[in-house]
Amino acid sequence: MSQEKYIGMDVHQATISVAVKNAEGKLLMECVLETKAATILEFIQGLRGTLALTFEEGTMAAWLHSLTPEWANEKRKVAIWPVTQYLTSHSPSDLLLI
């Protein structure tokens, strides 16, 4: 069984709506997180496997992307794509995985 997880984040000033799917497209979890670095890092660090994360390119995108070094290291594979960047390098139908 694949350990790949696909994470979609809808980022707002106070909260982030999160959905996590596996490689087969099965919804593993949905949750709402507080938009705080510690909360986001704790959530990401609690996930196992190879992670692919995408989020909208809004006002919070640069801040969210700046957290990358905190959760990505040589032992974990984390790919991050703001949605517009993802769409330029993938087929729009790929977003159905998220």
- Tens digits of residue pLDDT in 53-81: 888 777 888 888 787 665 655 445 555 65
Q: How many domains does the chain have?
A: 1
Q: What is the pLDDT of residue 74?
A: 47
User: Residue 78: which domain range?
Assistant: 5-91
Of residues 32 and 60, more confidently modeled: 32
The dihedral sign for the CA sequence 63, 52, 83, 46: negative
Residue 16's CATH number: 3.30.420.140
- 6 CA to centre of own chain: 7
Q: Is residue 20 part of a domain?
A: yes
Q: Which DSSP string corresponds to the chain?
A: ----EEEEEEE-SSEEEEEEEETT--EEEEEEEES-HHHHHHHHHT--S-EEEEE--STTHHHHHHTHHHH-BTTB-EEEEEHHHHHHHS-GGGGGG-
